[in-house]
Amino acid sequence: VGTKLRLAIDTGALDGIGQDLVAMCVNDLVCQGAEPLFFLDYFATGKLSVDAAARVVEGIARACAASGAALLGGETAEMPGMYADGDFDLAGFAVGAVERDAILPRPVQPGDVLLGLESDGVHSNGYSLVRRTVAMAGLGWEAPCPFAADRTLGDVLLQPTRLYVAPVRAALARGTLRAACHITGGGLSENLPRVLSDGCAARIDLAAMPLPPVFRWLVDTAGLDETEALRTYNCGIGMVLVVTPEGAEAEAAALTEMGERVRVLGRIEAIEGPAAVHYTGTLA
């Protein structure tokens, strides 16, 4: 979960970081068309706090249950002298299974439609810059959030990564899905080309994805330009599905009924050369 863990430790808000850990694994697995089967975790610290470890593992267990994966077990390591008091490290992995004829991505075609599933916030990437931006603003984690006054800044920035296993698996079963892309480090710009064929570009209309307040504040406070913002953060889109044009409208409706917030981002277009992402419009 990267340096988001530093924020969780500093605030003592440990209940959601386990979901971040699971989501970063199972959201990647499902992009291969796989069904998550089981998960194992690794918790390392200088001196074990049973309460802290229990809160983290409870979050892992909840996320595994929501993803249909068994929490088989894990490793807890006490290593005196390796960590400062109260600090710990966290890692994990998931194993899934997929039939050969269901492996994603399938060949993407010009005209295919890009459906963006909204994120629940910053998720688990870009937190070194998040922490620096908060320091630049002269704010503490317990300060009222500048764009959501009823919450603290730390609470908003610790919103757990959304779990996308159920919607992606459902789209795969309906037969409209050609590719799925989990938007993590590198944002849309660096993740989407991984699921595209050479000779194809994702043409995205930025006007179709209004920037949520948390990202607007982070971008403006840090003075990021649009290119850097799109390469650092998910900018409000946590998963992109490439679907057949004839099935796009029905798929968007079905995903919305499942509780996903769906944005029609654009289409696949033919180009000369390697896979790429092209933008029109601006982040609003």
Q: Which pLDDT tens digit goes with each residue over 172-217?
A: 999 999 999 999 999 999 999 999 999 999 999 999 999 999 999 9
Q: Is 86 left (phi over 0), alpha (psi -120 to 50) or beta?
A: left
Rounded CA-CA distance 1/9 in Å is 12
On the question of pLDDT at 284 being above 90, the answer is: no
Q: How far is CA 216 from CA 81, 211, 234, in A?
A: 40, 6, 12
Here the tokens at position 76 are 């807890």
Q: How far is CA 12 from CA 47, 52, 78, 156, in A?
A: 16, 8, 19, 14
Closest CA to 238 of 24, 91, 36: 24
CA-angle at 244, arms to 240 and 247, nearest 5°: 100
Mind listing the pLDDT tens digit for each residue in 122-143? 999 999 999 999 999 999 999 9
Closest CA to 148 of 92, 216, 210, 69: 216
Residue 13 makes CB contacts below 8 A (sequence gap 6+) with 154, 155, 158
Cβ atoms of 4 and 127 within 8 Å: the answer is: yes
Mind listing the pLDDT tens digit for each residue in 229-254? 999 999 999 999 999 999 999 999 99
Pairing of strands 276-280, 200-205: parallel
Here the tokens at position 226 are 């649009």
Tokens 């764009």 — which residue? 147
What pLDDT is attached to residue 126? 95
Give the end-to-end CA distance of the chain in Å, rounded to a whole number: 28
Residue 35, SS3? strand
Q: pTM for this structure?
A: 0.96
Length of the chain: 284
Rounded CA-CA distance 206/6 in Å is 32
On the question of pLDDT at 149 being above 90, the answer is: no
